[in-house]
Amino acid sequence: MREELYLKDFLDRKSLEQLQLKRLQETLARVCERVPFYRRSFERHGVKPSDMRTLADLDRFPFTVKNDLRDHYPYGLFATEMNEVVRLHASSGTTGKPIVVGYTKDDIDIWSEVMCRTFQCIGLTPHDVVQNAYGYGLFTGGLGAHYGLERLGCTVIPMSGGQTEKQLLVLRDFGATAICSTPSYFVHLIEEAQKAGFSIGDTKLKRGVFGAEPWSEEMRQRIERESGIDAYDIYGLSEVIGPGVSSDCTAKAGLHIFEDHFYPEIIDPATGEVLPPGTEGELVFTMITKRALPLIRYRTRDITTLHYEKCACGRTLCRMDKVRRRSDDMLIIRGVNLFPSQIESILLEIEGTQPHYLLVVTREGAMDDLEVRIEVTPEVFSDEIRKMEGLQRCIHDKIKQLIGLSAKVTLVEPGTIERSVGKAKRVLDLRKKT
């Protein structure tokens, strides 16, 4: 059974595309019949499910956006009766009500499958003992990873997020060989282990399965260097299924999308036009096997690039670049466009900095200001003022040179920027309140 799942990653592209087309046709017909929102929306756009003759025809169909889910809160876009729905999750979102997502028994089965394939991609086997530090609850991380790990036959330790002291105790005493968490929480665990007098590198831990938030290549290198493990990126979103949409493989050359379930497109976020492979744009998914909540051309707001060349690992599934930014997390400061991830890359390349930072944006009259607060190592912090000023200047100049913005840089003491057990908060935009 596990072997069969693994083989799905190596289908020849022609067979995969035939399967995708068949599933797309069935899904379009199904949502048109069962979800009034889609029936109306297709009518408005003058398209019918029977117009879907080749994969290229998908761009005739309208997009679905987060607001459509909000407008039909909580269950209005479901394509099944509630008695078939066996699980609900929700994503908190930054404003207003959560987005509610539902799963039938078959959906849970697909989710376990794609998570099992995720763990296979990064080389886990039934011999692994896995500490699952993604939050269990409405967040999809905990239960999503849990079912996939069980499906693969690993030993799961269902820790959930938080309880850092206990996490460290379990990590050491239960002999975890892999851990699942957000990258920022793992950075926190590395530090807390040091405070407790041991190094993660001295435990049995070999692999980290990190996702749920953007993290740079520089962050990956830091984590690997400081903990001695291999750090892998996994990507997903509640609206599509949760984690299990795409995953790094051991080649670490982009994340393989489980395309037999989630059909990807890249569009120009401004015009909606479909862009060719190799071009950066907004990632859009159509869920071609989901039962309870199959969304058509769902705009993720995540910016990436798709690649269709065969991977060194032999998988034929296309790959997406690491998601570094969302089209809606761009900050515009004094006319300069900037993404938090650009600052992260700059900061982490500089010796003496720690991977904990906060961007604080304020407005004085008509003037926007950016303050970059960054923790430094205890050695730097105890150094003479002159050296601290040198580091501050160095960060300031790099940001100015690479982004073109003069930011105020504040070096703060280790441990002073708030830690999160889930997704890290990197931006405090105080302009919205003024």
Which positions lie near ligand DLL, rule CB under 6 A? Answer: 91, 134, 140-141, 211-214, 233-238, 242-243, 300, 302, 323, 326
Task: Count the neighbouring beta carbons within 10 Å of the beta carbon of residue 290.
Answer: 25
Q: Minimum distance between the CB of residue 341 and ligand DLL, rounded to whole angstroms?
A: 9
Question: What's the closest the beta carbon of residue 362 comes to ligand DLL, in angstroms?
Answer: 25
For ligand DLL, the closer CB: 286 or 300: 300
Q: Would you say 233 or 259 has its CB closer to ligand DLL?
A: 233
User: CB of 255: closest distance to ligand DLL in angstroms?
Assistant: 7
Residue in 115, 78, 82 with CA at minimum distance from that of residue 100 = 78
Nearer to ligand DLL, 213 or 383 (CB): 213
CB neighbour list of residue 68: distance below 8 Å, 6 or more residues apart: 37, 77
Task: Choose between 116 and 234: whose C-beta lies nearer to ligand DLL.
Answer: 234
Q: What angle do CA 30, 35, 36 make, to 5 degrees?
A: 130
Separation between Cα atoms, residue 396 and residue 203, nearest integer Å: 38
CB of 89 to ligand DLL, least distance (A): 9
Q: Phi-psi region for residue 89, left (φ > 0), alpha (ψ -120 to 50) or beta?
A: beta
For residue 184 the two structure tokens come to 């920022």
The residue (of 237 and 374) whose beta carbon lies closer to ligand DLL is 237
How long is the chain?
434
Instruction: Name the closest residue to ligand DLL (Cβ).
Output: 211
- Choice between 49 and 211, CB closer to ligand DLL: 211
To ligand DLL, the closest distance from the beta carbon of 426 in angstroms equals 12
The SS3 assignment for 138 reads coil
d(CA 247, CA 255): 4
What residues have CB less than 8 Å from 239, skipping those under 6 apart?
A: 66, 69, 91, 99, 101, 293, 295, 298, 300
Least Cβ distance, residue 217 to ligand DLL (angstroms)? 12
